[in-house]
Amino acid sequence: MLSEEHQRLAAQVREFADEVVAPASYEYDTERRLPMEIIAQMGQLGLFGLPISREYGGQGRDYLSLCLAVEQLARVDQSIAVTLEAGLGLGAMPILTFGTDAQKERYLPALARGEELAGFGLTEADAGSDAGGTRTTARLEDGRWVIDGTKQFITNSGTPITSLVTVTAVTGQRRRSDGSSTPELTSIIVPTDTPGFTVLPGYDKVGWHTSDTHPLLLEDVRVPEENLLGEQGRGFSNFLTILDQGRVALGALCVGAAQGCVEQAVDYAQQRVVFGRTLGENQHIAFTIARMQSRTAAARAVVHEAARRLDAGMPFSNEASIAKLVSSEAAVANARDACQIWGGNGFMNENVVARHYRDSRILEVGEGSTEVQLGIIAKHLGFPNALTG
């Protein structure tokens, strides 16, 4: 059901993934290093500018195009895929969606070319899905925002080409109708060369070893008042929109991971001979792979539906959560099954299915955990307290 243009893009990125990314993925995973030369090639292909308008140096394509590119990369290397997904979905999209004309003109062209990367500084030790726990603060002083706080688990925040991080900060309190108060959250663009902005050492992660992920420290960070992204006090609403968009793209990453496991399982089952016949001649193995394919197809369908609704300007929050839930569970289940089919060889890190097994675990947590997605879906079904009850 894809257009010819979409099919050509998917084929182009698939070829790049198979010929450039896959052969190097184990080396960079072992070194725990983001391969900037591969990122540069992705920029030259225009991948970082797919949904960014041509006015700002992008490709002017739809969000489904981004999902197709992320899916093809994730088949062979989730770390590379999430670098693209986060670089656009969480890095550039906040500026594209809420930025002023001046902010778009200043930041988007370099991001669209892949010459720079941006991060999204939301999560803290006590705040993530519960944004009300945000402790980072920002105050206006002599025409500048003064920001103090910490952020954690921030993707693309410490690469050699990271130029900015959009941070959420408490800028006041808002009164509710019942007399109680709630933090007023505001989004602010912070260039990474701003004094007081410190990228702390990266994490020792279970998976996504190649992906760049750091905690951040902001001490008396001062940026111009015009670095406000969107309206003051609208940070909570804005980040919900960005997370909805990001969940669609991350869902595509999950689909790619699930598809990669199917392809690896099929290849091995057709070649591995045990007790005089190939593994695939055993009904149990063939049925297991058939179930893996069914999970993948279902996940792809809901991800594409969410992307098409996003592109059409229709409400898509519920569909985004369904896509994230279904696709992340498919990726985790397929990674488990693929490793089982590969047996002892599936336990070796040089095998892509072993890396999928490690990498896929975060897919049920990042950009809203499984429980958060269930709460959002339940809310749309008429259970408003599902997330907090």
327 close to 255: Cβ distance less than 8 angstroms: yes
Residue 235 has pLDDT above 90, yes or no: no
Residue 387 has pLDDT above 90, yes or no: no
> pLDDT at position 101, please?
97
3-state SS assignment for residue 54: helix
- For residue 49, the one-letter residue type is G
Cβ neighbours around 346 below 10 Å, total: 23
> pLDDT at position 164, please?
98
| Torsion over CA: 286, 287, 291, 294 (sign) | positive
Of the chain, the end-to-end C-alpha distance in Å amounts to 40
Residue 301 has pLDDT above 90, yes or no: yes
The residues that bridge with 118 in the sheet, in sequence order, are 164
Give the Cα separation of 188 and 166 in Å (integer): 6
Determine the length of the chain: 389
Where helices occur in the chain by DSSP H, the ranges are: 4-16, 22-31, 36-44, 63-74, 78-86, 93-98, 101-112, 235-271, 283-311, 317-342, 352-359, 370-380
201 close to 214: Cβ distance less than 8 angstroms: yes
Give the Cα separation of 48 and 69 in Å (integer): 10
Give the Cα separation of 171 and 187 in Å (integer): 9
> pLDDT at position 310, please?
97
| Average of per-residue pLDDT across 332-338 | 98
Residue 130 has pLDDT above 90, yes or no: no
User: What are the pLDDT digits (tens) for 353-383?
Assistant: 999 999 999 999 998 999 999 999 999 999 9
> pLDDT at position 176, please?
77
> pLDDT at position 55, please?
96
Residue 306 has pLDDT above 90, yes or no: yes
> pLDDT at position 18, please?
98
Percent of the chain with pLDDT over 90: 91
Containing 99, the helix (H) or strand (E) segment is none
Residue 323 has pLDDT above 70, yes or no: yes
pLDDT averaged over the chain? Answer: 96
**pLDDT-based confidence at residue 296 (cuts at 50, 70, 90):** very high
| Average of per-residue pLDDT across 133-143 | 95
257 close to 207: Cβ distance less than 8 angstroms: no
> pLDDT at position 126, please?
85
Annotated active-site positions, please?
A: 367
> pLDDT at position 153, please?
96
> pLDDT at position 121, please?
94
Percent of the chain with pLDDT over 70: 100
> pLDDT at position 38, please?
98
Containing 139, the helix (H) or strand (E) segment is strand 137-141
Residue 236 has pLDDT above 90, yes or no: no
> pLDDT at position 389, please?
67
Give the Cα separation of 259 and 17 in Å (integer): 13
Containing 147, the helix (H) or strand (E) segment is strand 144-155
Give the Cα separation of 87 and 146 in Å (integer): 25
**pLDDT-based confidence at residue 183 (cuts at 50, 70, 90):** confident
